[in-house]
Amino acid sequence: MKWFLSNSCTLSFAAALVFVAGCTEPTAVPLKPKASDAKPASGSSAEKKPSESKPSETTPSTPEAKMSVTKDSYGKLPDGTEIEQYTMTNANGMLVSVVTYGAVVTTVEVPDRDGKIANVTLYRDSLADYMEMKNGKPTTPYFGATIGRYGNRIAKGRFTVDGKEYKLAINNEPNALHGGLKGFDKVVWKAEPTTTADTVGVAFTYTSPDGEEGYPGTLKVKVTYSVTDKDELKIDYEATTDKATVLNLTNHNYWNLAGAGSGDVLGQEVTINADRYLPVDDTLIPLGEPKPVKDTAMDFTTAKKIGADMAKVEGGYDHCYVLNRKGNDLSLAAKASDPSSGRVMEIFTTQPAIQFYGGNFLDGTIVAGGKKYDKHFAFCLETQHYPDSPNKPDYPTTLLKPGETYKQSTVHKFSVQK
């Protein structure tokens, strides 16, 4: 089974609320910042000034849209490779920055109900921080990263394609996680600005050689991040291979709709358009068939505070939800909201599942913008295929063959509740 991107990626806001129609919530409205408050949040791209910084290069879109893409230096790797940061803005106060190291999203700035701007995704203060290692392991847990070749876990780091077994690095004992020791989150991507009538974006490309991190096939990948005039962050994935391989691309933003470092997210609300989820073993590998969420702590079919049932879930939320969907078109997967700021984020995707993670492993050791990221200071909603699909033939396939084109799309739409 293949999952393909719909030709129609524009959805009405009314349609976005179909699965939560029974909930009583304030009306969501488009982002409208106050001009006097529309300033970058602490730690945002506008405040990062690496010593190697060069003057910005601006690629404007159509004048009517008042949108643009700017390029700046973000620093250099130890070998001298320059890392670039691209910043996309629209006329409503939305700003998204992505760097060529790991195609990492460093900033997603959106206004609250009073027009106050904040970066709502967790970030690090510098390129050196993103690359920091302790005891041979990275200290940054995939903040904002593009994940590949395989997002989530593969049991015991092994899978078989066409009768041949492939072995991966065990980087999440006893399993393989998020592409390996040097996954797509740690490579340098090429970048090219893109514009359309209603979007500004950047296409990131990377060629993963045959055998990289143990995966078969030379894989050519393009991931396009774009901002629309409807306050959307779009992520479009495309890939081809010259040898049969497995692929599960995703993005790993850590969200806090009150603002990065502002406190825990236990009072923020989440709705997930899924009647079933995948129970897991103690190493977070799915046990098998999806199970109903009804009458369990896993139920987010109606809006619920993240912390409402957290204590009932051993270890906290880190589970894959099987989305309610028909066909392969872009459809609503989840909605998150912060009552204190009024910020709302809806997620649409062509993917069959979404991983909900409650920031269980954040422990206060990471500091950015002068603020610590303690436990539950963010949540993740990662659109993807199921964990360990290569070893479970009943799951939607993640196999990509020569002559096929992998295509997936995810949209994050932002608004505010009055």
pLDDT tens-digit map of 307-334: 999 999 999 999 999 999 888 899 999 9
Q: Give the chain's mean pLDDT.
A: 88
* 337 dihedral zone (left: phi>0; alpha: psi -120 to 50; beta): beta
Would you call 353 helix, strand, or coil by DSSP? strand
pLDDT band at 8 (very low <50, low <70, confident <90, very high): very low
pLDDT band at 46 (very low <50, low <70, confident <90, very high): very low
**What is the rounded distance in angstroms from the CA atom of residue 367 to the CA atom of residue 42?**
12
Is 82 an active-site residue? no
Please write the tens of the pLDDT for every residue from 377-401: 999 999 999 999 999 999 999 999 9
pLDDT band at 56 (very low <50, low <70, confident <90, very high): very low
13-417 — its CATH code?
Answer: 2.70.98.10
Is 382 an active-site residue? yes
Rounded percentage of the chain residues whose pLDDT exceeds 70: 84
Question: Domain residues of the chain, as ranges?
Answer: 13-417
Please write the tens of the pLDDT for every residue from 326-358: 888 999 999 999 999 999 999 999 999 999 999
Q: Check residue 32 and give its pLDDT.
A: 57
Mean pLDDT, residues 253-281: 98
**What is the rounded distance in angstroms from the CA atom of residue 379 to the CA atom of residue 310?**
12
Q: Using alpha carbons, select from 195, 247, 257 the residue that is nearest to residue 225.
A: 195
Q: Considering 178, 252, 319, 376, which one is annotated as catalytic?
A: 252
Please write the tens of the pLDDT for every residue from 12-33: 333 443 343 333 343 456 665 4
Q: Check residue 31 and give its pLDDT.
A: 66
- Please state the pTM of the whole predicted model: 0.86
Q: Check residue 29 and give its pLDDT.
A: 60
Statement: residue 11 has pLDDT above 90: no
Statement: residue 61 has pLDDT above 50: no
Statement: residue 163 has pLDDT above 80: yes
Q: Around Cβ 336, how many Cβ atoms within 10 Å?
A: 26
Give the containing element (helix H, strand E) for 366: none
φ, ψ for residue 370 (rounded to 5)?
Answer: 80, 5
Q: Considering 212, 232, 269, 382, which one is annotated as catalytic?
A: 382
Please write the tens of the pLDDT for every residue from 190-234: 999 999 888 999 999 999 999 999 999 999 999 999 999 999 999
